Amino acid sequence: MKKLSKVICLVLSALMLLSLAACGKQGDGADDAQGKPIEGGTFVYAIEEPITSLNWYNNSSTDLGKQVFQNLYDPMWKSNTDGSLDYRLAKSVDISEDGTTYTLTLRDDIFWSDGEKITTDDIVFTLDTLTVPEVAPSTAAAYKVDGEFCTYEKQSDTVIVFKVGRASNLFKKALGALYILPAHCFEGVPATEVLTCEQNANIATSGAFVVDSFNVGEKLVCLKNPNYYRTAAHIDGFEVRCVSDASTQEIAFRNKELSIFTISNAETLANYKDNDEYQVVSYPDGRITFMEINPNSEAMSTMEARQAVIYALDLDALVYGTYGDEALCRTATSILSTVSMFYNPEITNYKQDLDKAAQLIEQTGLKDKTIKIIYNSARVGQEELATMIKSQLDAAGLNAQIDSMETAAYFKSYFYATDSYDIALMGNGMLDDPSGFVGLFAHTRSGANMYTTDEVDNMWKQLDREMDPAVRQDIMNQALQALKDCWSCVPVLDTNYVCAAQKNIGGFEASDRLTDLTQIYFIG
Kindly give, in sequence order, each residue whose CB lies less than 8 Å from that of residue 493, ignoring residues fewer than 6 positions away. Answer: 287, 288, 289, 319, 322, 323, 329, 331, 332, 381, 385, 427
Whole-number Å distance between alpha carbons of 112 and 52: 21
Do both 188 and 290 map to the same domain?
no
Do both 54 and 82 map to the same domain?
yes
Kindly give, in sequence order, each residue whose CB lies less than 8 Å from that of residue 24, ignoring residues fewer than 6 positions away. Answer: 272, 273, 274, 279, 280, 327
264-267 contacts: CB < 8 A, separation 24 or more? Answer: 264/328, 264/380, 264/381, 264/498, 265/323, 265/324, 265/328, 265/381, 265/384, 266/323, 266/324, 266/325, 266/328, 267/324
Do both 466 and 508 map to the same domain?
no
Do both 176 and 323 map to the same domain?
no
Kindly give, in sequence order, each residue whose CB lies less than 8 Å from that of residue 458, ignoring residues fewer than 6 positions away. Answer: none
Do both 91 and 153 map to the same domain?
yes
Output the domain CATH number for residue 339: 3.10.105.10
Do both 439 and 313 map to the same domain?
yes
Do both 177 and 92 map to the same domain?
yes
Do both 13 and 160 map to the same domain?
yes
Phi, psi of 97 (to 5 degrees): -60, -30
Residue 487, domain extent: 284-497
Kindly give, in sequence order, each residue whose CB lies less than 8 Å from that of residue 217, ignoring residues fewer than 6 positions away. Answer: 50, 51, 52, 242
| 247 lies in some domain | no
Report the chain (524 residues): mean pLDDT per 10 consecutive residues: 40 36 39 71 96 93 89 96 94 98 98 97 98 89 95 99 98 97 97 96 96 96 96 97 96 98 96 95 94 98 98 98 95 96 97 98 97 95 98 98 96 96 97 91 92 97 96 98 98 97 95 95 94
Output the domain CATH number for residue 191: 3.90.76.10
| Alpha-helix residue ranges (DSSP H) falling in 177-265 | 246-254
Do both 480 and 517 map to the same domain?
no
Do both 473 and 508 map to the same domain?
no
Q: Which of 485, 472, 494 is nearest to 290 (CA)?
A: 494
Is the distance from CB of 211 to CB of 499 less than 8 angstroms? no
Do both 184 and 289 map to the same domain?
no
| 227 lies in some domain | no
| 361 lies in some domain | yes
| 510 lies in some domain | yes
Do both 149 and 15 map to the same domain?
yes
Residue ranges with strand state E in 133-247: 144-145, 148-149, 151-154, 159-163, 209-215, 219-224, 237-242
| 277 lies in some domain | no
Total number of domains constituting the chain:
2
| 515 lies in some domain | yes
| 249 lies in some domain | no
At 324 the pLDDT is 94
Report how many helices (DSSP H) and strands (DSSP E) the chain contains, helices first: 14, 23
| 264 lies in some domain | no
At 35 the pLDDT is 64
At 378 the pLDDT is 87
At 228 the pLDDT is 96
